[in-house]
């Protein structure tokens, strides 16, 4: 059974947040969601690139309801500022697609001293979601979608004793670890949302091989070793266009039949129609979730307190 953007239900009145919304898969998600009536918050780092993305979407969807919030996931302070701006403007968030990411970058640290790939691909989203939990659980049936990769099979669990891979850094290993963390975040968060009795769900998606700027940036930044140029060339020749690569994220976010705690991706692994994927080694993956929570809380100072957010939402609803 095929699934396309035309299968996205009417999203009029829904508020969606997409990180990395100014290019590649994030831009494709933004165009598709706004085309079905959602108000989309475009959270992205580069203002000039975001202006171009806005113009491109409005040329395609003149009636698109769009809002820009600057977001640099490599900065914990900047991420908290973005979360505060979103929370102030929107009491309810219906959809969050945690899409932004970097791939196989050379070893470097953020302003907070975090390893860059872990910081952008996981810790930034951890803080953003933690700060926006009250808005998410206030929605009638919110969806959170994190973005993983087939490279997660190269990754290992985050070690709280050495979260930044000091003395052990390898660009692909660090990327795979950050993308395994994205999957573990979705699984752990969905379990917490269920335990707290909220109607929200967390899911995970991987795009397969999509022809975006991700591979090109890896090469430009001098990362990826000999694999960098290979994947850049492979994506150009065989990768799906962004609009098709984004379908797994979009289906996880909008298909009424998509259940929490599930993984979505292309049918043939790298390409194909978006479908639910069997989660290989689920028990082993879940065993790493407590360590990820420990490291993420220690590094960011954010607790991801679903119980507190749910209790506050219930109290607010009771007081109406």
List all residues 6 or more positions away from 109 whose beta carbon is below 8 Å from its beta carbon.
115, 116, 164
Instruction: Choose the catalytic residue: 175, 231, 264, 293.
Output: 175
Cα–Cα dist 309/79, whole Å: 19
Paired tokens of 291: 């360590």
Closest CA to 123 of 178, 184, 180: 178
List all residues 6 or more positions away from 30 whose beta carbon is below 8 Å from its beta carbon.
18, 21, 40, 42, 53, 57, 66
Instruction: Work out the angle between the directed axes of helices 213-220 and 227-238 (0-180°, nearest 10).
Output: 160
8 A C-beta contact, residue 211 and residue 236? yes
DSSP bridge pairs for 204 = 146, 263
DSSP annotation of 104 reads: S
Paired tokens of 84: 């505060």
Cα–Cα dist 309/320, whole Å: 17
**175 catalytically annotated:** yes
Determine how β-strand 15-19 pairs with β-strand 39-44: parallel
* Integer angstrom CA distances of residue 57 from 11, 30, 175, 239, 277: 17, 8, 30, 22, 30
Catalytic residues: 175
């Amino acid at each position: 059974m095929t699934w396309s953007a035309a299968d996205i239900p009417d999203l009029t009145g829904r508020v969606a947040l997409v990180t990395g919304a100014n290019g590649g898969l994030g831009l494709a998600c933004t165009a598709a969601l706004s085309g079905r009536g959602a108000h989309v918050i475009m959270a992205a780092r580069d203002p000039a690139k975001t202006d171009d993305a806005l113009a491109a979407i409005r040329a395609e969807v003149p009636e698109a309801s769009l809002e820009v919030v600057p977001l640099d996931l490599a900065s914990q302070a900047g991420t908290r500022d973005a979360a505060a701006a979103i929370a102030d403007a929107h009491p309810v968030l219906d959809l969050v697609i945690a899409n932004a990411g970097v791939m196989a970058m050379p070893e470097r640290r953020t302003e907070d001293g975090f390893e860059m790939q872990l910081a952008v691909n996981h810790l930034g989203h951890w803080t953003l979601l933690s700060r926006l939990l009250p808005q998410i659980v206030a929605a009638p049936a919110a969806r959170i979608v994190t973005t993983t990769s087939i490279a997660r099979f190269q990754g290992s669990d985050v070690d709280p004793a050495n979260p930044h891979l000091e003395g052990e850094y390898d660009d692909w290993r660090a990327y795979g670890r950050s993308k395994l963390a994205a999957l573990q975040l979705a699984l752990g968060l969905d379990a917490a949302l269920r335990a707290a009795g909220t109607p929200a769900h967390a899911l995970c998606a991987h795009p397969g091989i999509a022809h975006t700027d991700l591979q090109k940036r890896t090469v430009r930044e001098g990362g990826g070793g000999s694999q960098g140029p290979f994947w850049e060339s492979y994506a150009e020749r065989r990768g799906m266009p962004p609009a098709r690569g984004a379908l797994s994220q979009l289906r996880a976010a909008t298909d009424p039949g998509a259940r929490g705690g599930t993984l979505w991706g292309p049918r043939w692994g790298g390409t194909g129609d978006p479908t639910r994927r069997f989660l290989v080694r689920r028990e082993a993956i879940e065993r790493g979730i407590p360590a990820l929570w420990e490291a993420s809380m220690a590094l960011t100072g954010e607790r991801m307190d679903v119980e507190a957010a749910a209790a506050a939402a219930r109290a607010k609803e009771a007081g109406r």
